[in-house]
Amino acid sequence: MINLGQLRREPDVVKAALARRGVPTETMDEILALDVEHRGLLQEDERLRAEIKELSRQVGEARRNKDNDTAETLSQTSRELGDKERVANDAMESVARDLNDKLLMIPNVPDARVPDGVDEGDNVELRRWWVDMDKGAPFPTYADHQRVPHWEIGTDLGILDMESGAKMAGSMFPLYRGAGSRLLRALGSFSLDRQLDDYEELRPPSFALTETMMATGHLPKSADDMYAIERDGLWAIPTGEVPLTSLRRGEILDETALPIRLTAQTACFRREAGSAGKDTRGLLRVHEFDKVELFAYCTPEQADDAHADILRRAEELLQALGLTYRLLNLCTGDLGTASAYTIDLEVFSPGVDRWLEVSSVSWFRDYQSRRASVRYRTSEGKIELVHTVNGSALGWSRVWAAVVETYRQADGTVVLPDVLAPYMGSDTTIRAKTS
């Protein structure tokens, strides 16, 4: 949620920044008007409460003085003011709900580093990486045997079974088999082991309360893209960011404890509403996938370093896997609702001849912590909102796809990078099963 105090102090600055994200000035004017109305009603409610409190004091004094007539007159006045106060309180709470509902739909104020744009086509490529580029190697070319899509490779080797997944749960729910399952597990373990120097590993629930989903900004705006378990008031998490953000919800942290760095591998669930017929083959777009998340609570001064650390770690994973990738600075039209600044990592997948997003590294300022009420106490004793930063390291379904395509051999086998050997029982070659 944006800082309402900043909107009051600098309305033109905030309106101009949010206009870059397509938020009409009229919408912000409505919010400002509701804020003025709410504060006016709040003052009136507080005035009436104060009068009632004073009348109660006078009634008590009159009764102590045996002045029952005065006490009864004052009590009647107090009751009448009580009725007015209830009406005023109802009006104040109604306007407060309207104000809050509107604020919940407003995206974060974009950072100055965010380029203007309408959609993903306006994202700005920052740089690319490929094996031995530092030694002058040209951008890689790929042989015909690497230009085979992963769903065909997976079927030929018996390691990906989309049909059985669809039989169990419907389309876009993959089933990995044999070495394909082990590869998926290996990728997650490989990543987690590399984060434990500075990040505490958690295994959070795969389901979240509504207030937990609200804290990250996924609700109410993205409700249609989430899986809801209405009977129990729960939501299937779309990312590990959701539970990690709410781990310290409602708490006041000590500044000396910051940054607090967390990591978790979770299953992620997304309805992908509106994706029918679009990128739905294989693992390009699925309803369930595994992902390792890196997350930090930090002070505003620590935010840039926290963001850079997560980005570095995601890049180092892709480099260790020898996968070609690029970095994109997301434009205002492609920025997530809660994000103030996001760098995407996209891996090149030769079999589908596509760049595939495998990580988004984002800084949220205090947008999420304002919703989750995660604060910290400074050395001077002042209470401030923390900043949150998170990123994927990495989203495994698409990395899985890029790995099997990139490392497919002319004989149809897949020879995995050596860094995965400890997690694959030292056998880094995936072969078709022989009957």
Q: The domain spanning residue 196 has which CATH number?
A: 3.30.930.10
Angle at 193 between CA 192 and CA 195, to 5 degrees: 65
> Of 80, 104, 128, which closes a domain?
104
Domain match, 268 and 393 both: yes
Domain match, 213 and 288 both: yes
Domain total of the chain: 2
Q: Which tens digits make up the pLDDT trace of 283-313?
A: 999 999 999 999 999 999 999 999 999 999 9
- Is 291 part of any domain? yes
Domain that holds residue 128: 120-430
- Is 384 part of any domain? yes
Q: Which tens digits make up the pLDDT trace of 132-186?
A: 999 999 999 999 999 999 999 999 999 999 999 999 999 999 999 999 999 999 9
**Taking the chain, what is the end-to-end CA distance rounded to the nearest angstrom?**
58
Domain match, 97 and 136 both: no
Angle at 13 between CA 373 and CA 6, to 5 degrees: 30
Those residues whose C-beta lies under 8 Å from the C-beta of residue 159, and which sit 6 or more positions away, are 153, 176, 177, 178, 179, 180, 181, 183, 404, 430
Domain match, 93 and 137 both: no
Bridge pairing between strands 375-377 and 252-254? parallel
Distance CA 295, CA 263 (A): 6
Q: Per-residue pLDDT for 338 more than 70?
A: yes
**Could you identify the residue written with the tokens 């260790």?**
320
> Of 104, 136, 162, which closes a domain?
104
Domain match, 155 and 14 both: no
> Of 72, 104, 136, which closes a domain?
104
Q: Which tens digits make up the pLDDT trace of 234-280?
A: 999 999 999 999 999 999 999 999 999 999 999 999 998 766 566 78
Q: The domain spanning residue 18 has which CATH number?
A: 1.10.287.40
Q: Where are the beta strands (DSSP E) in 110-224?
A: 124-129, 200-202, 207-209
- Is 112 part of any domain? no
